[in-house]
Amino acid sequence: MNKTIAEKIISEHCEREVQAGDFVVAKVDICLVQDGTGPLAIRQLQKINLEKAQNPQKVVLFIDHAVPSPRKELSNDHITLREFARKTGACLSDIGNGICHQVIVESFVNPGDILIGADSHSCTAGALGAFATGMGSTDVAIGIALGKTWLRVPETFKISVEGDFQKGVYPKDLMLYIIGLIGADGATYKALEFDGETIQKMSLSGRLTLCNMAVEAGAKTGLIASDAVTRAFLENQGRGDKFREIKPDADATYERIINLRAPEIQPTISLPHTVDNTVTIEEAKGIKIDQVFIGTCTNGRMEDLQVAAQILKGKNRHPNTRLIIGPPSRDIYLKSIKEGLLEVFIRAGAVILPPGCGPCVGVHEGALGDGERCLSTQNRNFLGRMGNPKGFIYLGSPATAAASAIKGEITDPREVL
Amino acid sequence: MILQGKVWKFGDDVSTDLIAPGRLFHLRSNLQEFAKHVLEDADPEFAKKMSKGDFVAAGKNFGLGSSREHAPTIMKIAGINGVLAKSFARIFYRNAINVGLPVIQCDTDKIDEGDELEVDLEEGKLINKTKDIQLTFPPLPPVMRKILSDGGLLSHIQKYKDFQLK
């Protein structure tokens, strides 16, 4: 008893009762790599003659960071992933399918699973009540080949949120506020467990936004108890039978408890060049913006695109502000076509990207020019992140991004909603 | 193992984007070439200025951000002897051990650019020869010490065909 969600899930995967601080070797349910980290993982396995997948149906190789490939070197990396999939039977998620963190949630991960991913935002899947964490290529390579990994069981911070958001305030604003509050290293090595009335009422999409950014506070993972919202999502995805209730014990031991009130959260912006450099919209309003990017594994889901379309409908982007929209998966791309959202965006002057990581990772599509400022719904604003160390990245919610695209400067979404 | 070398000093929050920029994504399968750009977005001249055996010292939260193992790997290929910081981001720390790049958590306020250091990893002892002061640092957890002493995670698994961390 008295276990956090992290302690419960890890205990189940190493057949003994563990607590924070223990070092364990645990069974891994799902491994993911992407085109930036997978080729190195595969070469590592080749080096020690261990090119195999222990559980190929649960190993997923994503080609999502550079899609379609902009250069021959990356096309060759993609070949490495496709060949490994052919040889081992591992699943290949090729160009057009979408971003690993979105697709893994749509199609693979279930409550109670342990997922390790060679991508720092692998913590996204914690929103389903799975223990999901990012690691490097070699760690995940060994996870692929042996079906296990070593873990230090993390201490947990409980973040409890009560009340309703004001109009124009979203889970992204809450998460930026939390990271600003505790700092970019405020939760290093810890698990963040989100709880409280606000989280219980939050859509799965919003929960994914919170867990996606747990790593931006240094955390090993973000976790949310599985409940009726999780069950409805899984049923909708055809995996209703995979639902399990995962929740902490009532007397679980937390290293720190942070109590927040949702009505007090304002639209929030991270200023360059760290995510914890946050201010309220009041303090950022009026900053001229050259490019707006709405999408990514953080904030490109249907409800994100719906609110952006609501704001952009019948409007035009500011003539000095480029607008880029990136649906994060094939499923979301199709749904946003059916709902007419893409037409709204295109009429507003936007360019639509294929499902993928796009400008967020600085490889191609929407790299910034010298001195240019971008407002993005992504999770990171590090110097150089969008392909140019002379660019400036601001982070905000899809509503703030859409409002700012119209005005050409950082704008309070409550002015246009 | 005793390491000796000269220090290059950086600030807080040196991200993996600064160490191994995303715009050089296409060099990820050409690590020798990528290493010529190590830490380029923190200091564009760094790869040219540094010599094999130098240390990197920084403030808090070194290596935050992306899980790209290429970051510690190109530091190692470039010949960095080790990284000293007040604190490390979790994934970078784990990756560094896996690829055999020593990471030392200590009070780097007492270390300036150009200082000559002598670091004893087993004893957890650091001598700043330039300033004539000695610092201590906590040893790695046993699991990580085991992986590092086997030459990184890959060598560990090759040796035992499994995790052998007890």
By C-alpha distance, the chain B residue nearest A74 is B26
Residue B1, pLDDT score: 79
| In the predicted structure, residue A140 carries a pLDDT above the cut 90 | yes
User: pLDDT band at B140, cuts 50/70/90?
Assistant: confident
| Tens digit of each residue's pLDDT (9 = 90 or more) over A328-341 | 999 999 999 999 99
| Tens digit of each residue's pLDDT (9 = 90 or more) over A179-192 | 999 999 999 999 99
| Tens digit of each residue's pLDDT (9 = 90 or more) over A374-392 | 999 999 999 999 999 999 9
List chain B residues with CB under 8 Å of A138.
69, 95, 98-99, 152-154
| In the predicted structure, residue B141 carries a pLDDT above the cut 80 | yes
| Tens digit of each residue's pLDDT (9 = 90 or more) over A253-297 | 999 999 999 999 999 999 999 999 999 999 999 999 999 999 999
Whether A269-415 and A5-261 are alike in CATH topology: the answer is: yes
- Find the mean pLDDT for residues A82-111: 98
- Find the mean pLDDT for residues A217-221: 98
Residue B11, pLDDT score: 98
User: Are the Cβ atoms of A37 and B91 closer than 8 angstroms?
Assistant: no
What class, spelled out in words, does domain A269-415 have in CATH? Answer: alpha beta
| Tens digit of each residue's pLDDT (9 = 90 or more) over A292-321 | 999 999 999 999 999 999 999 999 999 999
Domain A5-261 falls under CATH 3.30.499.10: yes
State the SS3 of chain A.
CCCCHHHHHHHHHHCCCCCCCCEEEEECCEEEEECCCHHHHHHHHHHCCCCCCCCHHHEEEECCCCCCCCCHHHHHHHHHHHHHHHHHCCEEECCCCECHHHHHHHHCCCCCCEEEECCHHHHHHHHHCCEEEECCHHHHHHHHHHCEEEEECCCEEEEEEECCCCCCCCHHHHHHHHHHHHCCCCCCCCEEEEECHHHHHCCHHHHHHHHHCHHHHCCCEEEECCCHHHHHHHHHCCCHHHCCCCCCCCCCCCCEEEEEEHHHCCCEEECCCCCCCEEEHHHHCCCECCEEEEEHHHHCCHHHHHHHHHHHCCCCCCCCCEEEEECCEHHHHHHHHHCCHHHHHHHCCEEECCCCCHHHHCCCCCCCCCCCEEEECCCCCCCCCCCCCCCEEEECCHHHHHHHHHHCECCCHHHCC
pTM surpassing 0.95? Answer: yes
User: pLDDT band at B122, cuts 50/70/90?
Assistant: confident
Residue B17 has its nearest CB partner, among A73, A74, A385, at: A385
Query: Domain boundaries in chain A?
Result: 5-261, 269-415
List chain B residues with CB under 8 Å of A40.
28-29, 69-70, 73
| In the predicted structure, residue A243 carries a pLDDT above the cut 90 | yes
Mean pLDDT for all residues in chain B: 95
Residue A150 has its nearest CB partner, among B23, B61, B163, at: B163
Please give the ipTM for the structure prediction.
0.96
User: Are the Cβ atoms of B68 and A367 closer than 8 angstroms?
Assistant: no
User: pLDDT band at B166, cuts 50/70/90?
Assistant: confident
Q: Among B10, B45, B69, which would you mutate to test the A interface (most chain A Cβ atoms within 10 Å of its Cβ)? A: B69
Residue B47, pLDDT score: 97
Residue A1, pLDDT score: 75
| CATH homologous superfamily of B2-138 | Aconitase, domain 4 (3.20.19.10)
- Minimal C-alpha gap between B61 and chain A (Å): 6
Judge contact between B29 and A73, C-beta under 8 A. yes
By C-alpha distance, the chain B residue nearest A50 is B158
Mean pLDDT for all residues in chain A: 98
Task: Say what percent of chain A tops pLDDT 70.
Answer: 100
